[in-house]
């Protein structure tokens, strides 16, 4: 291990290739829950539960971004990163990504307060999302930034999601999908900033390997969220309240 | 202790009185270093060293505010609190409170890069300021907010400081004092928001006592900063590099 870590750092293009290879292979668009969703094969309850459980992930995002802010000594970096918190919280009540997600929840027939309370989130989803916050809290700023690089892969998925939902779930209104429409340009800008930060600051092979490891852990978090949903709402059918017939 | 903590909570006015009493008695405007400063009795080096060392405190402020953001589950609270980070970092390069403080440093004859590097900060100042960040990291959101209530007392001090500096240190240009002029309205708004949060959320006597304890610890942090300066630059005269003749 230490001999491998002593090798010279990869060039920028090589590192981008490594990040792209590991990220693409593990990104949650390959998960069978997403495949069922995009093939129009989720029931209404299964789709609702994805929205409800994923909201817990959404609520962790501004918290982990605030932790990333707190790890930086550089006002210029903080000025750049703080916009992520604004994107989720909005500038005023009724704005921002969290609000759009709650409207999505209402649009798929869920009770807004029930979703906002996060009280019905699956245990495994909570563990995975809390694990993301802990990863960001415990690791270096560089690794925390690298863990955000799943956004590199999200614009395609969200664009495909809008098309799939419009086609397969016509009972969901178009306005409901505003969150997925609003995200791709932000995700492209955010991931461009993050990849630039990683390429600049991962100056040794060891740091580069840690960045890739943080990204892989992040893909595990997103994957486990869907594993938990699959286990509860597809099969074997265990959810809040215990086993279902 | 536990019997005392079981008593009913104080009313809003009583709690404000308690906070004001403890805060006013311990606020660092009573410190002899501040008294020398406001009486025009600091040498140029002593004034410079206050500016240089206090800059380290200033750099901790957006970091502790980001930690406070990360402790909140409420987008409305975060939307309110995030403006503190903007106030210090600015919206663009060359703006914000940290930049104004570096201009203050240049205005009192210090090298901007030397101050920005924080490499000459006194050990005791570093311990105290790092202790502030740790307090915010380790305690509850409520206590972290309460620890910011020293701002309740700062507008008066800053207004007096501008008058004292203009009178006693005429070699410092008026523009240099912009930081102190810009802060009082912000500090009034910030402390009004913080006191309102504390009055609303400290719903038991024990929570109220913890808020007051957090405020007292914060006054100790500000006080120790000045103790360290006094010990290094007034008497006995120990500073970076060891004892001075």
Cis peptide bond prior to B80, omega within 30° of 0: no
Q: Could you report the per-residue pLDDT of B126-144, keeping only the tens digit for each? A: 999 999 999 999 999 999 9
pTM for the complete prediction? 0.91
Q: How many CA atoms lie within 13 A of B116 on its CB side?
A: 12
Q: Are the beta carbons of A98 and B88 separated by less than 8 Å? A: no
* Interface contact B80, partner A, CB < 8 A: no
- How many angstroms away from the CA of B18 is the closest CA of chain A? 31
Q: Contacts of residue B99 in chain A, CB cutoff 8 Å?
A: 75
Contacts A–B by Cβ distance under 8 A:
71
Look at residue B1 in the predicted model and tell me its pLDDT.
56
Identity of the residue in B59, B78, B92 whose CB atom sits nearest the CB atom of A85: B78
Using pLDDT thresholds of 50, 70 and 90, give the confidence band for residue B245: very low
Q: Tell the residue number behind the tokens 């903080």, with chain if given.
A: A78
Of A82, A120, A72, nearest to A240 by C-alpha is A120
pLDDT at B239 over 80: no
* Interface contact B88, partner A, CB < 8 A: yes
Identity of the residue in B59, B79, B89 whose CB atom sits nearest the CB atom of A90: B79
pLDDT at B243 over 50: yes
Partnered with residue A242 across adjacent β-strands are A239
Look at residue A3 in the predicted model and tell me its pLDDT.
76
Identity of the residue in B70, B82, B98 whose CB atom sits nearest the CB atom of A82: B82
Tell me how far CA of residue B145 lies from CA of B29, B156, B182, B193, in angstroms. Answer: 21, 21, 22, 10
- How many angstroms away from the CA of A7 is the closest CA of chain B? 31
What is the domain partition of chain A in residue ranges?
Answer: 11-232
CATH code assigned to A11-232: 1.20.910.10
Between positions 26 and 65 of B, the ones with CB within 8 A of A are 59, 62-64
Q: How many CA atoms lie within 13 A of B181 on its CB side?
A: 10
* Interface contact A70, partner B, CB < 8 A: yes
What is the spatial distance between Cα B171 and Cα B177, in angstroms, rounded to a whole number? 12
- How many angstroms away from the CA of B138 is the closest CA of chain A? 13
* Interface contact A220, partner B, CB < 8 A: no
What is the spatial distance between Cα A177 and Cα B214, in angstroms, rounded to a whole number? 45
Look at residue B5 in the predicted model and tell me its pLDDT.
78
- Mean pLDDT of chain B, nearest integer: 94
Coil, helix or strand at residue B218:
helix
Walking along chain A (245 residues) 10 residues at a time, the average pLDDT comes out as: 83 97 95 96 96 98 98 97 97 96 97 97 95 97 98 93 95 92 94 97 98 97 95 76 57
Cis peptide bond prior to A236, omega within 30° of 0: yes
Q: Could you report the per-residue pLDDT of B33-82, keeping only the tens digit for each? A: 999 999 999 999 999 999 999 999 999 999 999 999 999 999 999 999 99
Higher-pLDDT residue of A194, B244: A194
- How many angstroms away from the CA of B117 is the closest CA of chain A? 11
Q: Tell the residue number behind the tokens 């995002």, with chain if given.
A: A61
CA B224: distance to chain centroid? 11
Q: What percent of chain B has pLDDT over 70?
A: 96
C-beta contacts of A8-15 below 8 A and 24+ residues apart:
A8/A205, A9/A202, A9/A203, A9/A204, A9/A205, A9/A207, A9/A208, A10/A205, A10/A208, A12/A199, A15/A198, A15/A199, A15/A202, A15/A208
Contact B69, B145 (CB under 8 A): no
Higher-pLDDT residue of B175, A211: A211
Q: Domain B9-231 adopts which CATH fold?
A: Heme Oxygenase; Chain A (1.20.910)
Tokens of B73: 């589950």
Q: What percent of chain B has pLDDT over 90?
A: 91
Of B74, B87, B73, B229, nearest to B148 by C-alpha is B87
Q: Could you report the per-residue pLDDT of B141-173, keeping only the tens digit for each? A: 999 999 999 999 999 999 999 999 999 999 999
């Amino acid at each position: 291990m230490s001999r491998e870590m002593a090798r010279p750092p990869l060039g920028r293009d090589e590192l981008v290739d490594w990040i792209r290879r590991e990220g693409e292979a593990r990104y949650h668009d390959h998960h069978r829950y997403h495949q069922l969703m995009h093939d129009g094969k989720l029931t209404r309850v299964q789709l609702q539960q994805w929205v409800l459980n994923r909201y817990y992930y959404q609520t962790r995002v501004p918290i982990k971004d605030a932790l990333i802010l707190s790890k930086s000594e550089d006002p210029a970096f903080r000025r750049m990163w703080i916009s992520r918190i604004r994107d989720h919280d909005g500038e005023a009540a009724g704005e921002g990504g969290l609000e759009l997600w709650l409207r999505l929840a209402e649009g798929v027939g869920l009770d807004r307060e029930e979703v906002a309370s996060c009280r019905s989130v699956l245990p495994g989803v909570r563990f995975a999302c809390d694990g993301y916050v802990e990863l960001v809290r415990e690791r270096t700023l560089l690794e925390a930034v690298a863990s955000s690089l799943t956004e590199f892969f999200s614009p395609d998925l969200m664009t495909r999601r809008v098309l799939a939902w419009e086609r397969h779930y016509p009972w969901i209104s178009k306005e409901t999908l505003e969150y997925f429409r609003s995200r791709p340009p932000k995700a492209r800008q955010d991931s461009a900033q993050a990849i630039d930060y990683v390429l600049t600051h991962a100056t040794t092979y060891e740091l580069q390997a840690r960045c890739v490891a943080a990204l892989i852990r992040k893909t595990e978090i997103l994957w486990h969220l869907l594993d938990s949903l699959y286990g509860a709402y597809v099969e074997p059918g265990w959810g809040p309240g215990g086993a279902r017939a």
